[in-house]
Amino acid sequence: MSNFIISPNMSLPVPTPGQDPGPDYATNNSSSLNIIDGHNHSPGSGVQINPNGININSDLQMNGNNLTTIHALEFNNLSATLPGSSPYLNTAYAASGNLYFNDGSGNVVQITKAGSVNATSSGISSGTASAAFSAGVLVVDANTNTPANIQCASILLGNNVSGSNYLTLSPPSSLASNYSITLPLTPGSTGLLSLDNSGTMAVQSYQTAGDNVGQAMTSVGANPVANARTRTVGTSVAAGGIAISAAAAINITNGSYTSIGVTATITTTGRPVMLMLMPDGSGTDAIFGASTSGGSPATYGVAFANNGTTISQCQFTTAGTSWLFPPGAVSFIDTTINGTPGTYAYTCLVKVVSGTQVTVNHVVIAAYEL
């Protein structure tokens, strides 16, 4: 039997009682005690300490070393956040069920909130650029007080109310190349919005926009516009209407121009006005003619007047004692208004040059702007 054995955990020379002689026994004990005095529980220097053998009852210093190969880090759930001051600077912890970090400047930063990363309060940043909510508005800056561009697909615009519906602002479904649209400034007066081929929007006055449309319009568009136009009919009409007087019923024997007693009044935009006589449409034959006695021809004059000023005159002569002309034989285009918009009252005047009388019955004056 050996005088001593080597212990399995610390390699101690343990003397065998009754076998190890006196001097060796004392030497082996001394060697064992020295090894025990220097042991540190590392492998080969004692049994390693398990958690049940440790009672940490104060802060545990890591002396600047890393804590490695941990499976998970479990925090106590504190009832309140730790103050942003020493010894709680640069500290991560849990409070009220959320994760916090106190930075080196004393800021208490909440990392989680309601089961998600708490990004709303702190926003995001990259270099000098940032995006954060301010008073309910998402502010995206390239630098301090300098707005940044946003690249995205469609934008949904809603009202600031709960359960709002949305307007979706989208680009064309197919983009062959990049292009820009520039919005206009607020105009000084109401107008029409235009867009040129560079993508710039502008506000044009109604007159300018209308002139541009009219100049570019072809018969393809002009014909439907003309067909859709309405014309008011009456003895006095606004621009675009047709003025038709009441029916005249008069015998004139006067040798100077005398009104047939009816008037057609029209408001114009300044274009020429077509004037004519025509039957009144009552179903009774219209009469416009002269009579004489003794077989002599009869001559009579017919004139149109605008606001009391004569603008046309002509004469008719019969071949016998009486003669009737169709009312439509008397017509005139009034160009005397010379592009001046206004309201004009048209009358027809008749005089007897030779003969007995002129008869006008079931005849009206018609006037319309060309």
pLDDT at 296 over 80: no
Calpha distance 38→26 (Å, rounded) = 19
How far from chain centre, in Å, is Cα 201? 12
Nearest C-alpha neighbor of 306 from the set 338, 283, 336: 336
**Which tokens is 7 given?**
């212990």
pLDDT of residue 342: 96
Which stretches of the chain are DSSP H helices?
22-37, 206-216, 219-228
Higher-scoring residue by pLDDT: 365, 50: 365
pLDDT at residue 48, as a whole number: 82
Q: Which residue has the higher pLDDT, 230 or 77?
A: 77
Mean pLDDT of the chain: 89
In the predicted model, is pLDDT for residue 1 greater than 50?
no
Quote the CA–CA distance of 367 and 343 in Å, as a whole number: 12
Q: Residue 357 pLDDT more than 60?
A: yes
Phi, psi of 230 (to 5 degrees): -100, 150
Report helix, strand or coil for 63. coil
Q: What average pLDDT does this structure show over 289-305?
A: 84
pLDDT, tens digit, 9 for 90 and up, residues 74-124: 999 999 999 999 999 999 999 999 999 999 999 999 998 888 887 655 567
**Three-state DSSP class for residue 282:** coil
Closest CA relative to residue 307, chosen from 349, 336, 347 = 347
Rg of the chain over all Cα atoms, to the nearest angstrom: 55
Choose among 82, 80, 118, 68: nearest CA to 90: 82
Q: How far is CA 51 from the centre of its chain?
A: 68
| Cα–Cα distance measured from residue 65 to residue 186, given in angstroms and rounded to the nearest whole number | 65
Determine the Cα–Cα distance for residues 228 and 166; give it in Å rounded to an integer: 37
Q: Are strands 201-204 and 166-169 parallel, antiparallel or unpaired?
A: unpaired
Q: Please check the confidence at residue 256 and state whether its pLDDT lies above 80.
A: yes
List the single range of 42-51, 99-108, 289-298, 343-352 with lowest mean pLDDT: 289-298
What pLDDT, on a 0 to 100 scale, did the predictor assign at position 321? 64
Give the tens place of pLDDT for each residue, 175-219: 999 999 999 999 999 999 999 999 999 999 999 998 998 899 999
Share of the chain above pLDDT 90, in %: 59
pLDDT at 119: 62
At 291 the pLDDT is 80
Listed range (14-23, 95-104, 156-165, 226-235) with the worst mean pLDDT: 14-23
